[in-house]
Structure 1
Amino acid sequence: MFRVSRRDPRRGCSNVLCLTGRNTTVPAALTIGSATFVLVEAINCYLANVFWTTSHDPRKLMFTLLGRGFDLYVGIIWWSYGAVLSCGIFGALQRNIRTGTLWALLGFAGLLDIILEECMLIYGGIYTYYGHQPLVFNVFPCWWAFCNVSSIFVGISITYRYRHLLEGWRSCLIPPILPLCYAGPQVLAALPTIYAIQADYSPIITQLCGIVTCVLAVVQVGVTMDTVLARDPTDMNQVGRDTQSQLAHQKLF
């Protein structure tokens, strides 16, 4: 099992896997639960015009949604990406890193998403984006990276906030928590772009919708930092919870 501890500022311990004598099942549940991201991603593919190729081999079929088949490789891709990002963010929060470093980590995750998808799209034949997609960098619509990272961040932040309640057998709650927290924020931020993709607006309006989506995704991350993690998203040097945010949350709840 993983042995996880918070950073002790007096001792300078920043190792996520410090020996504390207390086991946690949360990282393992995050790794397993990340497979559920593909269920929401399949729905988003309909809303935002993404088509995954299929082999038409029943042995490779993972599931069918609204008449469209999704092969096993779709689950492997999204499970891998979701597990790495989820455990990476959770581990960073366990290390109690500065807010500025957390922003940088999320930015790096978005850049990694762009690079990975560019490689898969250039390779060809795996999947394709169609419709009036805005903010296309080369072949990948970059607004997706903002939505992917921000929505996964919401679920991981909630898991981290209530990690003391999700130990042991209660870790079974994490797999349903992740897709539910992923679906709402993803569609919320992507909504302006979803309308633009399905419509036939002018190029300027389409690009503006993509920019609005990116802004909403960033705001979503900031609100999550403040309301869930009790961090001031504008204080880049802050480590841990913000005292004023904690007091406000105590009065609110």
Structure 2
Amino acid sequence: MSPTAQEIVEEAVEQRPIPDAKKWGAEAFGTFVLVIGGVGTAVIAGQRVGALGVALAFGLTLLFLVYAIGPISGCHVNPAVTLGQLLLGRLGVVSAIGYWIAQVIGGLLAGLVLFALAKNLPSYDRAVDGLGANGWGAHSPSATTGPLGMVVIEDGYGLAAMIIVEVMLTALLVFVVLASTDQLSDLPLAGISIGFTLAVIHLISIPVDNTSVNPARSIAVAPYQDGAMGQLWAFIVFPLLGGVLGALLYGLLFGRSRDMIS
């Protein structure tokens, strides 16, 4: 059966290279949705759904984003993933910088929306409740506080634990993203493997530092939580180091010459 005129036009459109501006727009939108879906669940519904619910919210949000914007931008929605793609030569420097800027902008917009939603609740106290930011020591979710939540009686997980989980788990996430989108893998299942990896990562590390593995996610809400800005540097540096490690691991196991969705 010969193709129809519409099918020929659609095929021609699909074969055209996607402009960087569209990719950057998709990344900004995707990061916005990821922060709203994941951090929003923690802030608005965290007491109802618990750590498991928050982990699933992050994982399921990333899962559907892979299928929604993956064909446009590759659905990085994470500067560490973009860094991994850049190191493997799958992305140019200018394009990567555009991805990073778009991801941060999308995250910041999501943080602003979440703060507006949170403070609309009369019982919300920014100093006590925060906004789902990442932290260690006195700012770790495992820190013990007094009856009103204002005074920290005992610190939670320290800097060393935070560094270990952020580097190790970001490396895992980046490796899974790169491996799942390699032509050797079952590409239609990439979203499932990537999404559930992020969910498992959150189950492991929410008690440690509220789970970053994504600098854009950390930047998005740090301005709205007391003490978070002073620790933000670590949630930029160590997830990026984890991204480098994940890319190196992928390169060792799969080789740099494999074709991959970008």
TM-score with structure 2 length normalisation?
0.39
TM-score with structure 1 length normalisation?
0.40
The higher-RCO structure (CA 8 Å, 6+ apart) is 2
The structure richer in strand per residue is 1
